[in-house]
Chains A and B, each alone.
Chain A
Amino acid sequence: MSQVSMTVNGKSASGEVEGRTLLVEFLRENLSLTGTHVGCDTSQCGACVVHVDGKAVKACTMFAAEAEGADVRTIEGMANDDGSLGTIQQAFQDHHGLQCGFCTPGMVMSAAALLSENPNPSEAEIRDYLEGNICRCTGYHNIIKAIMAAAGQDVSGIAAE
Chain B
Amino acid sequence: MQEILQYIFSGLTTGAIYAVIALGLSMLYSSTELINFSHGEFVMLGAMGIVTLWVHMALPLAVAFFLTVACVACTGLLFERLAIRTAGNAGHIELVIITVGASIFLRGVGMVIWGKDPFSVPPFLGHDSIEIAGAALLPQSVFIVIAALVLAGGIHFFLKRTLTGKAMIACAVNKKAAWLSGIPSSTMAVTAFVISTGTGAAAGVFIAPITMSSYDMGTMLGLKGFCAAMIGGLGSLWGAFAGGLLLGLLESLGAGLLSSGFKDAIAFVLLLLILYIRPGGIFAARDAKRF
Whether both chains belong to one complex is answered with no
Query: A residues bordering B, Cβ < 8 Å?
Result: none
